[in-house]
Amino acid sequence: MIKSTRNQLYNAHNASQGTTKKVLTVCSAGLLRSATLAHFLTKEYGYNTRNCGTVESYALIPISEVLCHWADEIVFVNKENYEMVRDEIEGFNMTNKCKILDIPDIYNFNDPELIKICKEQYENSH
């Protein structure tokens, strides 16, 4: 379940964060694929990124309504992760922010092959 507080929602739109594009990357635990994608997007495009996971029981930072509101774009590493929270994303009226890639859960953080796949799939999603 995606959770948040009113104060967190208010802070998600704090103007002092600047105008840099904010991208939330999402995988299961928020540790490998989404963290690599976030790192790539920051390094390659200068985006302000956060990464999180959809499986609340083991995600280091679980996806939240606040993170979704914070983001200009939400990038799921695969359809399975999107499907886990689709109803809530739709309830927040945020499906227009979402991009869904197709990255299997077989890579370590910053694996060169994973970075290559992130680059190809992200650039082809626009």
For residue 42, the tally of other CB atoms under 10 A from its CB is 14
Q: How is domain 21-124 classified at the CATH fold level?
A: Rossmann fold (3.40.50)
The pLDDT of residue 91 is: 87
- Give the pLDDT means over successive 10-residue stretches in the chain (126 positions): 64 78 97 98 97 94 93 97 94 92 97 98 93
The pLDDT of residue 8 is: 72
Does the reported pTM lie above 0.75? yes
Contacts of 118 (CB under 8 A, 6+ apart): 33, 36, 37, 40, 101, 103
The pLDDT of residue 26 is: 98
What is the domain partition of the chain in residue ranges? 21-124
